[in-house]
Amino acid sequence: MKRIRRIALGLLILLTAAVAALALLRWRGLLLLPQEPTPQVWEVFGVDVSAYQGEVDWVRLAEQGVDFAFCKATEGSGYADATFPRNWAGAQAAGVMVGAYHFFSYDSPGETQADNFIAQVPVTPGALPPVVDIEFYGDKLQNPPEREEVRAILDPLLERLEAHYGQKPILYVTYRSYALYIRGEYRDYPLWVSRPLLAPLDKAWTFWQYSHSARLEGYRGSEERIDLNVFRGSMEELLALGKSGE
């Protein structure tokens, strides 16, 4: 009986500690729910969009607290998102600070990927730095390329973008792409980390994508959901990040 009581007490202590830890994370804004726009702990809130969101009403998104947005511009060396020009102009007109992102390809040279992005995204004073989105697709999900192979593509891409826009590109990473290709390198590049629910406590992130499954008003496309993000800083610091290329 005493042994059972000790086990029960131990479990109660562990449960209490777990609840307290979750409460602390929640209080500090490091645990956010998927459908939680403009979380109170964070001053700066944003979204990211692509053709999947279709036609976007940027004024309506701004009315729901959206301060910034990343819009998909390109993918690889040949694809351009048809909604990008409209999103780029519409976000700025609505007072939403905007940046463009490029979906990284493991299958074409970094130089031609940079050319594709540069052809679509104008140099715009005050815009957020360009983003390189590093994740996996197709057969790369099961067979990710070697680190050296990826660096041979990624490094020239980053160099070309920085030279053209005058800003260090932002690196969008998943847990896996960070571990395979970024960890221990690229320390002076801002990180935009995708991790639903729980903040990436082990990384010096600048942007955190905390939800892939939210629903807001103000867009109509094939995808009903929209990604939610926060910036790790004040609005003044975000504006300063945009001015880094001026």
Give residue 28's pLDDT: 85
CATH (residue range 32-245): 3.20.20.80
Catalytic residue among 48, 67, 75, 81: 48
Give residue 44's pLDDT: 98
Give residue 76's pLDDT: 98
Distances (CA, A) of 240 to 32, 214, 232: 26, 28, 13
Give residue 42's pLDDT: 97
Distances (CA, A) of 144 to 54, 141, 194, 219: 31, 6, 18, 34
Give residue 197's pLDDT: 93
Give residue 20's pLDDT: 66
Active site residue 162: no
Active site residue 135: yes
Tens-digit pLDDT profile for the chain (246 aa)? 666 666 555 665 565 655 566 677 788 899 999 999 999 999 999 999 999 999 999 999 999 999 999 999 999 999 999 999 999 999 999 999 999 999 999 999 999 999 999 999 999 999 999 999 999 999 999 999 999 999 999 999 999 999 999 999 999 999 999 999 999 999 999 999 999 999 999 899 999 999 999 999 999 999 999 999 999 999 999 999 998 766
d(CA 101, CA 104) in angstroms, rounded, equals 9
Give residue 26's pLDDT: 82
Give residue 4's pLDDT: 63
Catalytic residue among 43, 135, 159, 162: 135
Q: Is the dihedral of CA 216, 221, 224, 227 positive or negative?
A: negative
